[in-house]
Amino acid sequence: MAEDNPEDEIILSELDDAELVEQMFDDLYDGMKEEIEEGVRILLDRGWPPYRVLTEALVGGMKIVGEDFRDGILFVPEVLLAAGAMKGGMAILKPLLAETGAPTIGKMVIGTVKGDIHDIGKNLVSMMMEGAGFEVIDLGINNAVEAYLAAMEAEKPDILGMSALLTTTMPYMKVVIDTMVAQGLRDDTIVLVGGAPLNEDFGRAIGADAYCRDAAVAVETAKALIARRHNRAAAG
């Protein structure tokens, strides 16, 4: 008679922190959303700050997925499942990251540029910005210049954030900035850009105020540039 082998079943709550994170990397890789959600809850219960869970367990796991996607070991369907699992974990962390009770310090409109449907990094930036006290209007993915302009007109944000994950879509950020310049809107808005293929030189070359390597840098940069603007306004 076939017996269940109890050794086959991994009880997440019985793993120590390092083993659990390692297991979560595997579960993210395999797109196992429920296991990822359980792992996130366990780490939170063990006192991990939400930001640590996010960066060490989720972003860390997605890095491995990205490398194997690049190397042709994983394909779009698997990566979509991994992204779904990551989003499951992020949904648990979102209210906790936004729970700082910080007063609103500025408003940001953010969106992924036209032709690009990657949104995990952008969502993370939105979450962290909200957590730091910014009001965030998220335009989602695949935004043409008209969508950014309409949102800026309607919302009058302090900051426009753009995300691009593809080398083919990142030049579109310049289209948006050039249009802002042409319409006399550029000076009123801080423009921050981010996404894995970008770098500081690119940010400078397209006329952004800053390139943000990750969500934490986006928060720091946004705070610094808003403070600088307030100081300038107070001085002049």
Summarize as ranges the residues that interact with ligand B1M (CB under 6 A): 59, 62, 65-66, 69-70, 76, 79-80, 83, 110, 115-122, 124-125, 161, 163, 165-167, 192-197, 212, 214-215, 218
Query: How far apart are CB 126 and ligand B1M at their closest, in Å?
Result: 9
Nearer to ligand B1M, 43 or 157 (CB): 157
Note every long-range contact of 204-212, with CB atoms under 8 Å and residues 24 or more positions apart, other chains counting.
Answer: 205/174, 206/171, 206/173, 206/174, 206/177, 207/174, 207/177, 207/178, 207/181, 208/173, 208/177, 212/125
Nearer to ligand B1M, 43 or 85 (CB): 85
Nearer to ligand B1M, 79 or 147 (CB): 79
Nearer to ligand B1M, 97 or 125 (CB): 125
Query: How far apart are CB 163 and ligand B1M at their closest, in Å?
Result: 3
Query: How far apart are CB 23 and ligand B1M at their closest, in Å?
Result: 19
CA distances for 144 relative to 158, 169, 188, 213, angstroms: 20, 11, 20, 23
Query: How far apart are CB 10 and ligand B1M at their closest, in Å?
Result: 25
Count H helices and E strands in the chain, helices first.
Answer: 10, 5
Nearer to ligand B1M, 171 or 197 (CB): 197
CA distances for 94 relative to 38, 71, 216, angstroms: 15, 31, 14
Three-state DSSP state, 194: strand
